[in-house]
Amino acid sequence: FYDLVCELTMNGQSVGKRFLKIRVISDDGAQPSLGKYLLRWLFRIIDFTFTSEACALISVAVTNKKQRLGDIVAGTIVIKTSPRTAMQDIAFIPEQEDYTPVYRDVLLLKDREIELIHEVILTYMQNRNPEIVFAMAARIKNHLNIAQMEGMHELAFLQTLIKDYNHLTSKA
């Protein structure tokens, strides 16, 4: 019961998860609902108690997103909360002077959101799972109320957003 209460009140973390710098999120990148937390918590019985942790170990070993059965059923994933790269290493690449930004509305995003887009791109480069790229692109398009250029795939869209953001903020 402790894990459920902590995850609900501590932004997807228990004390242990906070110490390990991990947290639970919905598989679409959003904050999980009460139902998702509850379902995840209920499946702990199968993941750990009934199977002596074997179910959890096997499912984490064989799933692309390293999810235990409770995460799969609930539609949640556990992510690292600390960035893999330092902020000064993120995507601040000098652009050509004659570069013309594609998405000027990118300035409506916060630095943290740009950092998260960069993290999604890095995660994709490591595990080649396109679902997280599709989900992030959809959320950003919805958030900014913009359309992706015809013929541009989601990864290029996210990379263009970072390029545009860097160009526009460096000129401000």
- Tell me, yes or no, whether 54 and 93 share the same domain: no
| H helices, E strands: number in the chain | 9, 2
Kindly state the tokens that stand for 134: 């599709």
End-of-domain residue from the set 25, 54, 80? 80
Domains contained in the chain, number? 2
> Residue 165: which domain range?
87-171
- Tell me, yes or no, whether 76 and 61 share the same domain: yes
End-of-domain residue from the set 52, 80, 108? 80
- Tell me, yes or no, whether 120 and 93 share the same domain: yes
The model's pTM? 0.50
Closest CA relative to residue 109, chosen from 149, 57, 162, 63: 162
Please list the pLDDT of the chain residue by residue as tens digits (172 residues). Answer: 888 888 888 888 888 888 888 889 888 878 899 999 999 888 888 888 877 788 888 888 888 888 888 899 999 988 887 765 555 455 555 556 777 889 999 999 888 888 889 888 888 887 777 888 898 999 999 999 999 888 999 999 999 999 899 888 877 6
